[in-house]
Amino acid sequence: MAKKQFKAESKRLLDLMINSIYTNKEIFLREIVSNASDAIDKLCYKALTDDQVGLNRDDFRIDIILDKNARTITVRDNGIGMSKDEAENNLGVIAKSGSYAFKNEMTDSGKEEEDLSIIGQFGVGFYSAFMVSDEVTVITRKYGEETAVKWQSKGADGYTITDCERDSAGTDVIMHIKADGDDEDFSAYLEPWKIRTLIKKYSDYVRWPIKMDAEHQERFDTGEKDEKGEPKYEYRTVTENETVNSMIPIWQRSKKDVSDDDCIQFYKEKYHAQKNPAALVRVNAEGAVSYKAMLFVPGETDEFYMFREEKEGITLYSNGVMIMEKCDKLVHDYFDFVKGIVDSPDLSLNISREILQHDRQLKTIGQNLEKKIKGELEKLMKDDRPAYEEFFKNFGVQLKCGVCDEFGRNKDFLRDLLLFYTSENRLISLKEYVGNMPESQSAIYYASADTVKHAMSLPQCEEVRSRGYEMLYLSSALDEMVIENLMEQDGKKFCNVVTDDLGFETDEEKKAAEERNTESKELLDFIRESIGDEISKVRLSAKLGSQPCALTTEGGVTLEMERYFSRGPSEEMRSIKATRVLEINPDNSLVKALQDAYTSGDKEKAGALSGILNTLSKLMAGVEIEDPAEFTRQISNLF
Ligand code: ADP
């Protein structure tokens, strides 16, 4: 019989499939089962208006038949089937839809190996059978026709098509499984457990029953008696035809049929979670884009969460068929802790990454879902503050990164979800902070160090607190970057108590302070020189309360940022340093002692006291001191 050739573009794709080095070959089953399900949809629809079909809804099914000896997997459906022309056109040519676009994309980019991974995610339909088979036979009979056709192909060199017999309408796709290779175990696809696993994973929610024979051990009475006169039992293997898929996905069912508790149960089982989710989002959207979503904000995290490249994320389904296990394009990274399912009949199975990225419908779904997730989180913050704070401890870093990412583009969407420490154990939102501000307060005051406790002990905080104003205590460079990005809250600017003008001094006071600094210039220069280059300037300060000194910075880089950059990957990054300024309190006895030593000409003592002030300022700012033993010696030498 003459072999027919595939169209050029199909041949190319087929070549890729056959020689695919891609590891995720298992998706072939999803593709073939989806085709079967679509074919049943079509006939079922026809049956609504055509009595001749003679099948009820309950009669439709997909059978999977494994034959280890013959090395075949058969996927059988009693759907609409194909005529000879259709078989030729549909199976001999790449479908016009996604597959074709996929192929073009691949040709354009010329990076075949990389692009092969796309196959695994989006599938290219029927041809994927050739990833695991060395021969595919399709026996199909179109509804309403008397004869059936047999389409057969061993791959890229072409196919044959002949008439044959089939009892009723429907299609058998018979895949002859390849021999095992060096590191490819194709035989596994002939194992019932493997096929069951794949059905569960990819096709669990296909609307039609997917049936398979399953072997069970059954106890039976032999009719004989044992020595005690009891009936004698033995076991035998029985084969039962079972439905493997669960068919109706929980997220497809209406809210009145499925309680929130059911959803929580589903979440715990699916994601092996110990704790209940912090929030649940259920959406049933109809309109320009129709979709159903069931999303969860986890109630717990593990220590590796931040480092895990592959987050569990959101799984995309189209009509119950999984099309993408982790869709990282649906919501922004700041919500990447959200897990769950989005199912939309508007998404096609054959969709390339390119299309997905620019898919308007997907964008709309993503935006809507983000609003819903935010809404649930705000509700949690209002109704169950401890739970929200727990959530924020788990995933707040993501939200903070989200504020800084993309040049701060999403900061206004996220700002109301942020919390900051206002004392060692109390978290506050920016809205709450501004709401608590007395009329006399004009700015949002914050201090930053490596820990909240440290930030609280910074001497510059004293003056703010003594006025009865609240403070925000930041404990990371990320916190500082968040504040820098946010810029203001409800019209109130942020003020770093270490580096910014607190705004408490009048112009006269400022002028007087400046004059005092000028008067003491000689002493201040002496201190700076005794300390050396690590300090760029020494100045008198009136905002240190009871403390003798404080380390502050000038310019854009703060001590926290310096600490952050010091852990950076490049030498260039690690060399970024803050410009340090030592502030000293002229009213403090230690500073007075220094001044006395200097004026009385005891430069040695004045120099030693300068060094002590510098080390003290570092200790208070949480900066590591290089030589604690030397510091101890300096102190003891004084007495
Ligand atoms: P797609 O499903 O994206 O159209 P496929 O390569 O999977 O691409 O299938 C091509 C076409 O072959 C389908 O659109 C359908 O018309 C036909 N087809 C495949 N499998 C079956 C089947 N089991 N029953 C009827 N038609 C089928």
Residue 287 has phi, psi (to 5 degrees) of 145, -140
Contact criterion met (CB below 8 Å) for 447 and 474: yes
Q: What is the pLDDT of residues 535-571, one digit of tens each?
A: 999 999 887 888 899 999 888 788 888 888 888 888 8
- Paired residues of 537 in beta bridges: 581
What DSSP string describes 60-73?
A: --EEEEEETTTTEE
Q: Read off the pLDDT band of 175 (50, 70, 90).
A: very high
Please tell me the residue having the least CA distance from ligand 1 atom 17.
90
Query: The dihedral of CA 420, 422, 427, 433: what is its sign?
Result: negative
Report CA(126)–ligand 1 centroid distance (Å).
7
Q: Does 366 or 289 have the greater pLDDT score?
A: 366
- Paired residues of 83 in beta bridges: none
Q: Give the Å distances, CA to CA, from 550 to 207, 264, 540.
A: 69, 52, 10
Report CA(366)–ligand 1 centroid distance (Å).
29
Which of 14, 16, 35, 64 to probe ligand 1 with, by most ligand atoms within 8 A of CB?
A: 35
Please tell me the residue having the least CA distance from ligand 1 atom 12.
90
Please tell me the residue having the least CA distance from ligand 1 atom 5.
125
**Percent residues over pLDDT 70 in the chain:** 89
Contact criterion met (CB below 8 Å) for 270 and 229: no
Q: Read off the pLDDT band of 318 (50, 70, 90).
A: confident
Q: Read off the pLDDT band of 529 (50, 70, 90).
A: very high
Please tell me the residue having the least CA distance from ligand 1 atom 15.
90
Report CA(95)–ligand 1 centroid distance (Å).
8
- Paired residues of 445 in beta bridges: 495
Ligand 1 closest atom vs CA 35: 20
Ligand 1 closest atom vs CA 34: 2
Please tell me the residue having the least CA distance from ligand 1 atom 10.
90
Q: What is the pLDDT of residues 246-286, one digit of tens each?
A: 888 888 888 888 889 989 988 887 787 888 999 999 999 98
- Check residue 409 and report its DSSP letter: T
Amino acid residing at 337: F
Please tell me the residue having the least CA distance from ligand 1 atom 13.
90
Tokens of 474: 């930041």
Please tell me the residue having the least CA distance from ligand 1 atom 8.
125
Report CA(72)–ligand 1 centroid distance (Å).
20
Report CA(36)–ligand 1 centroid distance (Å).
8
Report CA(38)–ligand 1 centroid distance (Å).
8
CA distance 240 to 20: 36
Element (H, E) at 280: strand 279-285
CA nearest neighbour of 151 among 143, 160, 142: 160
Tokens of 446: 């914050």
CA distance 461 to 544: 8
Beta-carbon count within 10 A of 377 CB: 22
Q: What is the pLDDT of residues 80-130, one digit of tens each?
A: 999 999 998 888 665 333 444 444 555 554 444 444 444 434 445 788 898
Q: Read off the pLDDT band of 495 (50, 70, 90).
A: very high
With both helix axes pointing from N to C terminus, report the angle between 477-486 and 559-566 in degrees, rounded to the nearest 10.
120
Burial class (CB in 10 A: 0-12, 13-18, 19+), 398: buried
Ligand 1 closest atom vs CA 97: 3
Please tell me the residue having the least CA distance from ligand 1 atom 3.
125
pLDDT of residue 403: 95
Which of 404-435 are b and which e, b meaning 16 or more Cβ less than 10 Å from the residue's Cβ? bbeebebbebbbebbbbbbeeeebbbbeebbe
Report CA(177)–ligand 1 centroid distance (Å).
20
pLDDT of residue 358: 61
Q: Which residue has the tokens 């504020």?
A: 403
Query: The dihedral of CA 119, 123, 129, 130: what is its sign?
Result: negative
Ligand 1 closest atom vs CA 31: 7
Report CA(47)–ligand 1 centroid distance (Å).
20
Please tell me the residue having the least CA distance from ligand 1 atom 18.
35
Please tell me the residue having the least CA distance from ligand 1 atom 20.
35
pLDDT of residue 122: 43
Report CA(164)–ligand 1 centroid distance (Å).
20
Which of 29, 38, 159, 349 to probe ligand 1 with, by most ligand atoms within 8 A of CB?
A: 38
CA nearest neighbour of 462 among 350, 369, 546, 371: 546
User: What's the average model confidence in pLDDT over 296-309?
Assistant: 71
CA distance 45 to 29: 24
CA distance 282 to 249: 13
Within 6 A (CB) of ligand 1 lie 31, 35-36, 39, 77, 79-82, 90-91, 95, 97, 125-126, 171, 349-350
Taking the CA atoms of residue 194, residue 177, residue 126 and residue 53 in that order, the dihedral angle to the nearest 10 degrees is: -80
Ligand 1 closest atom vs CA 81: 25
Q: What is the pLDDT of residues 341-364, one digit of tens each?
A: 999 887 765 555 555 666 778 888
Please tell me the residue having the least CA distance from ligand 1 atom 7.
125
Q: What is the pLDDT of residues 379-408, one digit of tens each?
A: 999 999 999 999 999 999 999 999 999 889
Q: Tally helices (H) and strands (E) across the chain.
A: 22, 22
What size, in residues, is the chain? Answer: 639
CA distance 359 to 366: 11
Q: What is the pLDDT of residues 599-636, one digit of tens each?
A: 999 999 999 999 999 999 998 888 888 888 988 988 88
CA nearest neighbour of 264 among 279, 249, 247: 279
Residues 6+ apart with CB under 8 A from 215: 192, 237, 238, 239
User: What's the average model confidence in pLDDT over 27-36?
Assistant: 90
